[in-house]
Amino acid sequence: MSVITSIGEILIDLTQTGTTENGVPEFAAYPGGGPANLAVAAARLGADTAFIGKVGNDSFGDLLRRTLVENNVNADHLYTDPTENTTVAVVSLDEQGERSFIFYRSPGADSLLTQEEAIAGLAGRPKLFHFGSVTLTKEPAYSAIPMAVSMARRMGALVTFNPNYRENLWPSPADAAYRIKQALPLCDILKIDSTELELLTGTKDLERGTAELAKYGILLVLVTLGADGAFYRYRNKTGHVPTIPCKVVDSNGAGDSFFGAVLVKLSELDLSKPVSIEKLEEIITFANKMASITISRSGAIPAMPTLAEVEGTE
Predicted local confidence at residue 280, as pLDDT: 98
148/314: higher pLDDT = 148
pLDDT of amino acid 106 = 82
Q: What phi and psi, each to the nearest 5 degrees, are found at residue 193?
A: -110, 180
Average pLDDT over residues 17-35: 89
| Confidence at residue 87, expressed as pLDDT on a 0 to 100 scale | 94
* pLDDT for the residue 219: 96
From the list 65, 71, 77, 78, the residue with the least C-alpha distance to 48 is 71
Per-residue confidence (pLDDT) for residue 16, from 0 to 100? 80
pLDDT at 74: 96
- Measured between alpha carbons, how far is 301 from 314 in angstroms, rounded to an integer? 19
pLDDT score at 8: 96
CB–CB of 158/272 below 8 Å? no
| Average pLDDT over every residue of 71-96 | 90
pLDDT at 96 over 70: no
* Mean pLDDT, the chain, whole residue set: 92
For residue 19, what pLDDT is reported?
A: 84
Which residues fall within 8 angstroms of residue 24, CB to CB, at 6 or more apart? none
pLDDT grade for 314, boundaries at 50, 70 and 90: low
Give the tens place of pLDDT for each residue, 199-216: 999 999 999 999 999 999
- Express as a percent the part of the chain with pLDDT over 70: 97
Mean pLDDT across 172-187: 95
Q: What is the pLDDT of residues 292-311, one digit of tens each?
A: 999 998 878 888 999 999 98
